[in-house]
Structure 1
Amino acid sequence: MTTEWQSRPEVASAGLVTAFARVCLFCGPRLARLMLGPVCAWFWLARGEERALSRDYLRRVLGREPRWRDTWRHFWNFSSVTLDRLFILGADGRGIDVELSGTAALDEPLDAGQGCFLLGSHLGSFEASRVARHRRPQLPLRYVQDRRQNPAITALFESLNPSLAGEVLDLGGSPNVGLKLSETLRDGALVALLGDRVRGREASVPVQFLGGTAHLPTAPWQLAMVLGVPVVLFFGLRVGAGQYRVVFERFEVPSGVARAERAAALAECAQRYADRLAARATEAPYNWFNFFDYWAER
């Protein structure tokens, strides 16, 4: 997997993004979705490279040659999830309906007072994981992310909801993020992070994914092994306008692995995770939002 996604410019200026977002919040989710059509059409027409990457992914997941309608649906889902993110983060979920599935996988470690990794991906909406807080309002919830990625959008959401900044463990801005992560988990918090992209020179391992070889980071599994915390996979799949099916899955990570056997254990965890990603992507193929060459050599 290439890491060139990190250097891609944002699709619009900060001022334009902010203006459009505030108009959407003023109009409400129904009118905002009507305004989304021209924005998505511009993006679909102007971003030829992303259309080609969409076709490559859809060819793999659909098992046939994608038509233009398939790439349009793929772009429309991406645009819709981005818009819904605005209402989840900036308007306390107004106009968003979420159905939960597999909540026992999440409740079990939390009932035992354990910290827990909530591992998401760029399949569907990562922000829909915030429904976990509605089930347990007192639960500390922290998000591991790099504020340097999409800075205009990050700044917009934090201006709309200043409490978001305090929930972020910043990968790019803090040399002590590992220590903060460990302390947060020991306090019994949920720590949400993405597990399907490799950042820079981050350690990774090759996996088989949708008929090709991709690379996944090993950090989530290594942290879970070292810290001895449970891992719950999370998929927030868009199923309609403002509608999501949130699925939680317990993911077993071995503990007490000898150093000599750790590399094999990490590779096995990464491959099982890739298999779950592939299964969910096949179930909801237009929810995949990695618009870069996911199968490129590192």
Structure 2
Amino acid sequence: MPDKHWSATQERGSTFGIQLLVWIYRVFGQWLFRLILIPVIGYFMLTGSKAKRASYQYLRRLAEHTRSPKAVRWYHVYQHFFQFGVSAIDKIRAWLNDVTLDDVTFHNPEMFQQLREKRPKAGAVFIGSHLGNLELCRAIGENDSDLKINALVFTKHALKFQAAIEKFNPNAQLNLIQVDSMGAETAIELKEKVDQGEIVIIVGDRTSVTQYGRVNYADFLGQPAPFSQGPFILASLLDCPTYLIFCLKQSGQYHIYLEHFADSLKLTRTGKKQQLQSIIENYASRLEYYCLKAPYQWFNFFNFWQKDDENHISRNTKQKREDTQ
């Protein structure tokens, strides 16, 4: 029986529950939040069988790839889940303006400065992932008047947290571009923003919500994994400088890594398939590099290596098409 696509996984927890956690953080601070997180993560681990299997799979792949002699145990999975919970604290802190520039280390800061100096002449595309805390980059960007950052998200996913944060900070919804599917209208809107000198953030480690087979396979932790063509084709259409961005938490400090990926990802007619394959392989290689820096901060709790075809993945494409009409 085909496995369910990642987009079929329902968000767990209510908006009220998240708002309660935000309130606890604001009143009592991180210490009580972290204390409450212990049984909360325990509950999600006991009841989230699919996410738990995915965590085991990922951690085993990681151990095999690094040739670690240690077997993966339940407490490693708990630590993986717990880091996901900690990332929620970090998002809350960022959107409540409790993260200052003193808490952040910018790697390659000259690249950020170059982007500021180029405005309003040229924008850029940042390609991120579900490794670390990309949300923190966007929250910090709200306080930088010289860098307007837009994030592309799918409307029906990961919005409960956004709605809860918005109650305490309306700016959390600023520059959030919500879409059900990628189309010409979205591409035109994003092109306008880039031409105005703005930045567009998209993630490259989730396959299409609606379509089968729009992927290229690239080695990731020693096994071929499907990577969506969409983000890279979109970056090609926007025809502007493209960067990779990662935000990892290391030794209590937030580290933002910005790498120049290409002056333009524009694909030529001849050799388009080979170019796209090379681009995706380069992205997968850099994603793996940073994943090894912070292995417990990889937050894709589904079978990442599952083949993207109808025999292996189940998408409710009929319903999704109706939703977008």
**TM-score using structure 1 length:** 0.90
Q: Does 1:92 align with 2:97?
A: yes
| Cα distance change of structure 1 residues 15 and 227 upon mapping to structure 2, 3 Å threshold | closer
The alpha carbon displacement at 1:239 in A equals 1.9
Q: Secondary structure at the match of 1:78?
A: helix
Quick check: 1:143–1:167 contact (8 Å CA) kept in 2?
yes
Q: Distance in 1 between matches of 2:131 and 2:74?
A: 21
Q: Distance in 2 between matches of 1:256 and 1:215?
A: 21
Q: Does 1:107 align with 2:150?
A: no
Letter aligned with residue 103 of structure 1: P
User: 1:205 matched to which residue of 2?
Assistant: 216
Identity of matched residues, %:
26
Q: Does 1:81 align with 2:87?
A: yes
User: 2:281 matched to which residue of 1?
Assistant: 271
Worse-matched range after superposition: 74-83 or 25-34: 25-34
Q: Distance in 1 between matches of 2:293 and 2:84?
A: 16
Q: Does 1:164 align with 2:175?
A: no
Quick check: 2:242–2:263 contact (8 Å CA) kept in 1?
yes
The alpha carbon displacement at 1:20 in A equals 2.5
Letter aligned with residue 52 of structure 1: R
Aligned length: 296
User: 1:151 matched to which residue of 2?
Assistant: 159
Q: Which blocks of at least 5 consecutive residues in structure 2 are unaligned?
A: 309-325
**C-alpha offsets along residues 245-267 of structure 1, whole Å, 9 cap, x if unaligned?**
11111112655542132221111
Q: Distance in 2 between matches of 1:106 and 1:47?
A: 39
Q: Does 1:252 align with 2:262?
A: yes
Q: Distance in 1 between matches of 2:287 and 2:20?
A: 35
Quick check: 2:267–2:276 contact (8 Å CA) kept in 1?
no
Quick check: 1:225–1:257 contact (8 Å CA) kept in 2?
yes
Q: Secondary structure at the match of 1:208?
A: strand
Worse-matched range after superposition: 158-167 or 114-123: 158-167
Quick check: 2:24–2:32 contact (8 Å CA) kept in 1?
no
| Cα distance change of structure 1 residues 255 and 167 upon mapping to structure 2, 3 Å threshold | closer
Quick check: 2:132–2:247 contact (8 Å CA) kept in 1?
yes
Worse-matched range after superposition: 270-279 or 92-101: 92-101
Q: Secondary structure at the match of 1:264?
A: helix
The structure 2 residue matched to 1:189, chosen from 194, 198, 209, is 198
Quick check: 1:225–1:253 contact (8 Å CA) kept in 2?
no
Letter aligned with residue 107 of structure 2: S
| Cα distance change of structure 1 residues 267 and 132 upon mapping to structure 2, 3 Å threshold | farther
Letter aligned with residue 256 of structure 2: V
**C-alpha offsets along residues 5-41 of structure 1, whole Å, 9 cap, x if unaligned?**
1111122223222222222222223332222222122
| Cα distance change of structure 1 residues 15 and 130 upon mapping to structure 2, 3 Å threshold | closer
| Cα distance change of structure 1 residues 150 and 134 upon mapping to structure 2, 3 Å threshold | closer
| Cα distance change of structure 1 residues 276 and 183 upon mapping to structure 2, 3 Å threshold | same
The alpha carbon displacement at 1:281 in A equals 0.9
| Cα distance change of structure 1 residues 102 and 134 upon mapping to structure 2, 3 Å threshold | farther
The structure 1 residue matched to 2:296, chosen from 261, 266, 286, is 286
Quick check: 1:106–1:232 contact (8 Å CA) kept in 2?
no
Q: Distance in 2 between matches of 1:293 and 1:218?
A: 18
| CA RMSD after TM alignment | 2.5
Worse-matched range after superposition: 264-273 or 154-163: 154-163
Quick check: 1:145–1:168 contact (8 Å CA) kept in 2?
yes
Worse-matched range after superposition: 183-192 or 100-109: 100-109
